[in-house]
Every structure is written in C-alpha cells, then in structure tokens.
Amino acid sequence: MRSVPEPAAALPAEALPVLVQPIDFSTRALLPRSQFEAWRHLMSPVIDFDIPDGRDGGFAAEQKVFDVGGFALTRARMPADGRMRVWQHVKKNPLDHWCFVLVNDGTGPPVPGNRPESRQLFFRSLAERFDGAANDTSVLTLYAPRELFGEGLSSIDRGAGTVADLGLGALLGDYFLNLEKRLPNIPVADLPHVVEATRAMIAACIRPSADRFEVAHDAIVATLMERARVVIRQNLRSVTFGPDKLAQALGVSRSKLYRMFEPYGGVARYVHRQRLLAAHAALSDAANKTPIIQIAEGFDFSDPSGFSRAFKQEFGHSPRDARLAATVGAPVPSAIRRLSGMGGADFGEVLRRLCA
C-alpha cells in the first residue's frame, strides 16, 4: 500500500512577512454636504483647496496612502463631474518636500505611443508657492523629503515643473505606476531597499548622469521590462510586430533590447512564448468556439503543423487536448510552464514623519 505524504505544515502567523498596509480614506460614507470639507481637511497639510463654482452636490472621493518610510505614495480618486478645482501650497509651516504628481486619467493631451491612456508628470517643491487648477479624477503622487536626494538634485524645483512623457520621463512614470501596483505585496522589512531604488530612479531620470544611471540600473531595467511586456501583449496579434518596433516603443537601441531579453532566450523567443500562452488561454476558454486554426492564425502562427508542434513542446499537450479539456471541464494533461514574472496615522502625520 503506497503511503500518502503528509501535507506541508502551514507557517505560524508570526513567521509570515508583514506586508505594507495602506491607509485608506473616503468621503463616500459622509453626507454629501460634509464631503468637501472632509476632503479639504485631509489635504490641508499640503494645499489649500477649493471649488470656485461651489461646493454643493457632494464630493465623493477617496485616497490610499502608502507610508514607505523614506517617502509616501498616494492615489487620489476624485469626482468626474467636470468641476474645476483650484489650490495653492499652504503658506504656514510648509513641508520642505518634493512632490511628483502623475495624472493618468486621460484628461491630459493625447500622447503618441502604445499606452492606453494619456498622462502627465509634474514635480515641484512644497516649500515654494504654487497655484494650480484642474478637473482630473485620478492622481498618483509621491512625496519625498529634499534630504532624500542630497545636494545633487537641490535645484530641480527651479525647472519647468513638467516631465515630458517621453524617454526617461515615460520611464519614470512607468516606475511610479509599477511601484503602486507592487507595494501591497512588499514586506515591510524590504522598504529600505524600495526607498533606495526609488531615490536612484528619480535621480537618474530627472538629472541624468553616468553615475546615476549606474546606481539605478536594476530599477531602470525592471521598469523597461514591465513596459516591454505591456507593449508585447498589445501587439500579439500584429503580424508586423518585431524587435524593431518594440525597441522604438521603448526608446532603446536594438543592442540594449537584446541584452534586456537575453535571460529570456531573446526577444523573438519571448514574443513567441507569449503568443503561445495567449493561444492556450483562448483554447482553454470553454465559451470560445473559434476553430483552432483561426486562433493560431490570430496570433501569427500561419503553419498549423508548426503551431501544433510548438504548442506541444511548450505545454506538454496538443492544442486539441487543451480545447477538449476546456469543453469537458477537465484539467489538461500537463501544467503550463508560464514565464516567471517580474496603518494607524493620518495623511499629515505620514508626511511629517518623512522629515524625522
């Protein structure tokens, strides 16, 4: 009689890593007449905030704050009612922080490229007077104390205040968005490394130099790879898509692109595997009745026998097996070898702690 192995014991709760917990604030549970004042009070450590056309009609908004230790990252979502909002930096006891603001709700001017939405990236010093107005609805903001960057970047707040969403500016915007996505799964013990990587990334993109690029190399490559994956996914059905178009979309040379993808077997191999994965997902959808040959052609596999051989080599079963398993609700004969992928304080207190 064959013995059945004991299941692995679960880790005790105290052995599990403590993950970053965001601070959430929302006005939605308040009466409409109280919502605006609650939001205005929330933002009062940073800006004086108002709506010239009137505060009636409520202000259903929410904010998520990640206290990273060396900086704070916030996501604010505000009403899409078209009302123009105005603000200025607070005049009393200003925080000597830099503020990087990424507006990615589509309210900015159209930007060419492969991103699905236009966006704008701004930076400014909270210690300097600034008046602004906008009706944007989704804003990602990174607040960092000036001391985080030392003397090397002491003068950036005297610049134009806008980072073009091209080249290094686009790379920095991508980094901020990826950081927002990854932070909830990062252990608190790793936050000092996150702070250092972010500091190096901002320095390399805002004031480029050979030394700063060297320090930020890993963060830059990781961000480029994340952006490359998005571009590739958007072009899986394009028969003309290849390394040249990918390099152009990323703003890198072909040689740099090939070095980036060397650990994955090269650019062509990576794209090929992504197309196979997409075809497998389509075949595993029981509601998808498209013939196998059409699914293959849709992902640029023009030779049915070649598609079948590549599919079986990658997944250990044929396209027909995948379709049959989806139809009868059974598991496929073998597993898919997927590519490895890459509390307690208010907003003002989080910002003040950055100076400690």
Residue 105 pLDDT exceeds 90: no
Distance from C-alpha of 102 to C-alpha of 196, rounded to nearest angstrom: 20
- Residue 353 to residue 351: CA distance in whole angstroms: 5
The fold of the 235-328 domain, in CATH, is Arc Repressor Mutant, subunit A (1.10.10)
pLDDT tens profile 24-55: 999 998 888 888 888 988 888 888 888 887 77
Average pLDDT over residues 157-164: 63
Highest mean pLDDT among 77-81, 148-152, 196-200, 248-252: 77-81
Query: 92 Cβ partners below 8 Å, 6+ apart?
Result: none
Sign for the pseudo-dihedral over CA of 67, 226, 256, 218: positive
pLDDT grade for 154, boundaries at 50, 70 and 90: low
Mean model confidence pLDDT for the chain? 77
Residue 287 scores a pLDDT above 70? yes
pLDDT digit string, tens, across residues 231-241:
888 888 888 88
Statement: residue 63 has pLDDT above 70: yes
- Cβ neighbors of 344 (< 8 A, separation 6 or more) are 23
pLDDT category at 138 given cuts 50, 70, 90 is very high
What are the extents of the domains in the chain?
A: 19-216, 235-328
**pLDDT tens-place string over residues 175-230:** 899 999 999 998 888 888 888 888 888 877 776 544 444 444 555 666 777 778 88
C-alpha to C-alpha distances, 187 to 14, 17, 77, 194, 353, nearest whole angstrom: 13, 6, 26, 10, 20
What average pLDDT does this structure show over 104-133?
A: 67
| pLDDT of 107 strictly over 80 | no
Instruction: Give the other-Cβ count within 10 Å of 58's Cβ.
Output: 17
Tokens of 88: 């200025």
CA distance 45 to 95: 8
Element (H, E) at 63: strand 62-67
Task: Cite the DSSP H helix spans in 237-346.
Answer: 243-250, 254-261, 267-283, 292-298, 304-315, 319-328
Q: At what angle do helices 217-234 and 254-261 cross, to 10 degrees?
A: 90
Which segments within 96-185 are labelled E, that is strand? Answer: 97-103, 120-125, 131-134, 138-145, 162-163
Higher-confidence position of 81 and 163:
81
Contact in structure between 204 and 223 (CB atoms under 8 Å): no
The residue ranking higher by pLDDT, 338 or 68, is 68
Expressed in angstroms, the distance from the first to the final Cα of the chain is 65
23-26: strand order across its sheet = 23-26, 62-67, 72-77, 138-145, 97-103, 120-125, 162-163
pTM above 0.75, yes or no: no
pLDDT digits (tens, 9 = 90+) for 322-355: 888 877 765 554 443 333 333 334 677 677 656 5
Pick 152 or 72 by higher pLDDT: 72
16 closest CA partner among 189, 242, 193, 245: 189
Strands 47-50 and 23-26 turn out to be unpaired
